Chains A and B, each alone.
Chain A
């Protein structure tokens, strides 16, 4: 799953101090606005002056004009002083208001969650990005899910009664579907009441995912894997097929049994069934809303979008509790340390679902941090610039601990990378040029400057914790060496960068991404490579990558499931855009190894293949392998049972807010 490359983490000074600085900044911005107003005044005067000259000038008029001009000059000289005074006044008022905080409602169970980028839509078949998935997985559910607390990650049934039975040849999976699970109440259903789900609903949802007319970004999870599905897709493509035509590999012998038949062993099948792409959607709603389905989600999950207007674009999404949700009990097992962290206090008790789940889209670090500090968000990733004031020696600083704030560290199963467009006539054809780029990228300094040293340099595509990761391996072209980079640049035919056109680096528009990009571009500029930076919103950025318009771009890939295959498939030639192979890398030798690895069960043999594939990638360098992040999060004292899960985002049914504690702690922030 794609994530924002800019990894923010980190942090800062005393909050009160910070508030003052923030105020100063507000002042500053207001000064601009005032200065602009001054300008308006000038324009007005200039206007005035010409109309005046139409009339005979009298002594009084002359005198008045002189006076006017004195006043005007005074006004200009003092614009800044006046502006300052006004701003101070305004800020004092706002500050005063926040000072005498309103009483916090001690029955409100709302959970407020920050999103670092904008949500593009709530249709699960297009949920290929982290931010949309974070919302979607709380509305929709699939057959399987990950255990909330256990690490390493472990699958558990969700809409399935139990884990599937698998035939000895590994080709047939039989699922029993939970009885009595109902969709959200919605006008799409005959009487407005949510209908009970059946095995047919899963078949419908997956056909919809595969339907080429929907151009889903998630079809790769089933592509060439399910018997008869490829033929069905081709028939639809050639306009000879029918959507309702049966597929041999997807069968529902009765209402609550689903049989999946595969063309070849597919060891990742159970993992992909836990992804947001594979959730169940109701046919009625898809047909009723058509293209508007992405704004009118109807699922089976614990939360629902009551009305489309609860989603305010680029601002926030409010989900309400689904009153008909079947209920579940809190897990009783976790990993060592969970008990001490208080994560097992509710073990075995029925879940208490929050009344509301609010996703707040805040793309800039400081507003997100400030909102957390004011208690408007339940948790936050620590921004880079605030790190030193929040964390010392991997412990939370006492000032914050005194407010009941807690620190939570998790390692992301992901890789942050810089990709080259392999279809680019210059970049794609020149291996030495790409190596020169990689050698000139100063990853260790980047980790120090932008991640507070809380990241590990990536030596290949596979992150730690997965098969095929080798802690002793060093990428020969991944170690920063400017002299060697210059040699390779000369070898590539562009000594000192002569003869190279200006490249364009695509990145996101927020300040932190820009700074990281500036740093990278600066490293290349030192070798004479000219590059300009183009900044985008998240949806724009994804659009450009999907259409192959991005030349060089920085991105991160977070694991969809805990198997290195999820990272290696990013280079498989059949997965090129709109699939997940963003760089458009194609290598028949690599494809052969990849296909062979799919047929192998987890084990030593497969791990060896993974390592071979890694070596090919390092040789060809379609990406500059960047780093693996550690995530530092702060949570408020009133947030209970929160444990960030890197594999699934439908975790807010387990999480709850202690409203009494919030009412007590929030006013003291």
Chain B
């Protein structure tokens, strides 16, 4: 049944593909923004994420805990005002390590899911738009990648590439584009026969113009939502890999390495590392998940009148 040109999907597409300053305030994005603003959980989550980003930037620029690898006292100092989570086996402040750990985690989140975003959209767009052999090839590629469980694929990639932050970016990035690719491909297949694309073709638009100027803006929201999802899982993967000893270089502060330390400290018993890494990760991952969820709902045309 080719009756899919729903009345409520059309306005978005036409507005976006022919943006005019007068009705910009009625666009999908403005609409989403308005609805997000009404959602208290989303707003709080958003500010938590912003707080993490600011913290990470401050840590990286040396304004917050500039000397993260230096001992500040004895090992395993108890919790105190000066060192809220105590000190670790090397006598380093655990709070400082956790704060710097969030910079590591966020950087992995941004870059790895950024890589996945670029690969996913590029391949998805090519496959969906051109179809035929290109499509078959790309579908074969992503089916193959997807058939390998990535809890195994990512560690094996980092084993091959070696330990280090850049290698974690690459390993997580090049393995987590499949879902996005599949979704973008589906959307492109749907959109390429829509009236507005046919109209553009009739006016002599090139392939590139159709892909980038016309179709892509209409499927961009998928990228957004997937970017957020990928972000969270990239953070978790960084932690897991570092915990397993194949993630970042041990001189880079990471929550995963803190947990690895915590594993040995359980018997002392000392739990500063465990608590700090868990709390920091908990709030970031939770905020991201909630925000993402709200974002997806606000971009979903079906739920517009909620």
Q: Are A12 and B267 in contact (CB under 8 A)?
A: yes
Q: Are B4 and A55 in contact (CB under 8 A)?
A: yes
B143 at the interface (CB under 8 A from A): no
Q: Are B269 and A449 in contact (CB under 8 A)?
A: no
Q: Kindly report which residue of chain B lies nearest to residue A442, judged by CB atoms.
A: B71
Name the distance in Å between B184's Cβ and chain A's nearest Cβ.
10
Q: Kindly report which residue of chain B lies nearest to residue A384, judged by CB atoms.
A: B264
Provide the A351-374 mask, 1 if CB < 8 A to any CB of B, else 0. 000000000000011100100000
B37 at the interface (CB under 8 A from A): no
Q: Report if A35-B8 is in contact (Cβ < 8 Å); known contacts: A65-B303, A510-B245, A511-B260.
A: no
Q: Kindly report which residue of chain B lies nearest to residue A79, judged by CB atoms.
A: B289
A56 at the interface (CB under 8 A from B): yes
Q: Are B250 and A518 in contact (CB under 8 A)?
A: yes
B144 at the interface (CB under 8 A from A): no
Question: What is the number of residues of chain B that contact chain A, defined by CB distance less than 8 Å?
Answer: 62
Q: Report if A25-B263 is in contact (Cβ < 8 Å); known contacts: A46-B225, A46-B296, A76-B293.
A: yes
B40 at the interface (CB under 8 A from A): no
Q: Are B251 and A385 in contact (CB under 8 A)?
A: no
Q: Are B6 and A57 in contact (CB under 8 A)?
A: yes
Q: Report if A366-B293 is in contact (Cβ < 8 Å); known contacts: A46-B183, A49-B300, A514-B250.
A: no
Q: Are B263 and A511 in contact (CB under 8 A)?
A: yes
Q: Report if A47-B179 is in contact (Cβ < 8 Å); known contacts: A36-B233, A385-B267, A386-B267.
A: yes
A-facing residues in B5-55 (Cβ within 8 Å): 6, 8-9
Which of the listed residues B163, B222, B263, B296 has the most CB atoms from chain A within 10 Å of its own CB?
B263
Q: Are A512 and B264 in contact (CB under 8 A)?
A: yes
Task: Kindly list chain A residues whose C-beta atoms are within 8 Å of the C-beta of B303.
Answer: 62, 65-66, 69
Provide the B58-85 mask, 1 if CB < 8 A to any CB of A, else 0. 0000000000011100010000000000
B282 at the interface (CB under 8 A from A): yes
Task: Kindly list chain B residues whose C-beta atoms are within 8 Å of the C-beta of A526.
Answer: 70
Cα A57 to Cα B260 with chains together (Å): 50
Interface band, chain A:
35 or more
Q: Kindly report which residue of chain A lies nearest to residue B9, judged by CB atoms.
A: A53
- Of B3, B251, B262, B296, which is within 8 A of A518 by CB? B251
Q: Are A522 and B70 in contact (CB under 8 A)?
A: yes
Q: Are A35 and B285 in contact (CB under 8 A)?
A: yes
Q: Are B269 and A13 in contact (CB under 8 A)?
A: yes
Q: Kindly report which residue of chain A lies nearest to residue B301, judged by CB atoms.
A: A53
B-facing residues in A501-542 (Cβ within 8 Å): 509-512, 514-515, 517-519, 521-522, 525-526, 531-535
Q: Please give 12 more A-B residue pairs, beta carbons under 8 A apart, in addition to A35-B236, A522-B90, A525-B69.
A: A13-B267, A18-B267, A22-B266, A38-B289, A39-B236, A50-B186, A73-B293, A364-B263, A366-B263, A384-B264, A511-B245, A518-B250
> What are some 30 contacts across the A-B interface (CB < 8 A)?
A11-B267, A12-B267, A13-B269, A24-B266, A35-B285, A36-B236, A39-B233, A42-B229, A46-B183, A46-B226, A47-B182, A47-B183, A49-B296, A50-B222, A53-B6, A56-B3, A62-B303, A66-B303, A73-B293, A366-B264, A383-B264, A385-B267, A449-B90, A511-B260, A515-B90, A515-B264, A522-B69, A525-B69, A534-B249, A535-B163
Q: Which residues of B contact A (CB under 8 A)?
A: 3-4, 6, 8-9, 69-71, 75, 89-90, 151, 162-164, 179, 182-183, 186-187, 190, 222, 225-226, 229, 232-233, 236, 239-240, 245-246, 249-251, 257, 259-269, 274, 278, 282, 285, 289-290, 292-293, 296-297, 300-303, 306
